[in-house]
Amino acid sequence: MALVVKIWDGSTETTVANPFGLNYREQLNDVPTGQVSLPYDDTAVAKAVAGNDVRLYEAATLVGGFVINEARTVLVDPDEEGGKVRSLQGVGIASKLTRATVAGEFPTSRTRTVGIMSNDGRLT
């Protein structure tokens, strides 16, 4: 079964039509890392920016993903007009919690509302 690569920008997912060079590694006691490349003419290239999530699906089930830390445009062999590719790499989605801050009100009762703020400033 082939993996389907999608990019999440916080509101919508866009499927990458022809991903290549996919490398995703889960690591024991650490967050996963990943990298993937896509042709520059792919419709998902507009969302291939740092801070967005790359999600990996197998048979419609989310099996992994990573947050884009670095997105580079690479010119492939300019002498042969090979075109451009967008190369993405990053660390697992759990890395958003590595420097998380607990935000919210802490009343004197036993119940409280707590939100987790990720290191990119979004309250989740």
Q: Is residue 113 part of a domain?
A: no
Q: Is residue 99 part of a domain?
A: no
Give the chain's domain count.
1
Q: Is residue 109 part of a domain?
A: no
What digits encode the pLDDT tens for the residues 52-86?
A: 999 999 988 998 899 999 999 988 776 766 688 99
Q: Is residue 114 part of a domain?
A: no
Compute how many other C-beta atoms are within 10 angstroms of the C-beta atom of residue 42.
20
The Cα 42–Cα 12 span in angstroms is 16
The Cα 93–Cα 23 span in angstroms is 15
What digits encode the pLDDT tens for the residues 78-95?
A: 676 668 899 999 998 776
> The domain spanning residue 51 has which CATH number?
2.30.300.10
Q: Is residue 84 part of a domain?
A: yes
37: region left, alpha or beta (phi > 0 left; psi from -120 to 50 alpha): beta
Segment among 5-9, 21-25, 66-70, 81-85 with least mean pLDDT: 81-85
The Cα 123–Cα 121 span in angstroms is 6
What digits encode the pLDDT tens for the residues 92-123?
A: 877 666 666 656 555 555 554 555 555 555 55
Q: Is residue 116 part of a domain?
A: no
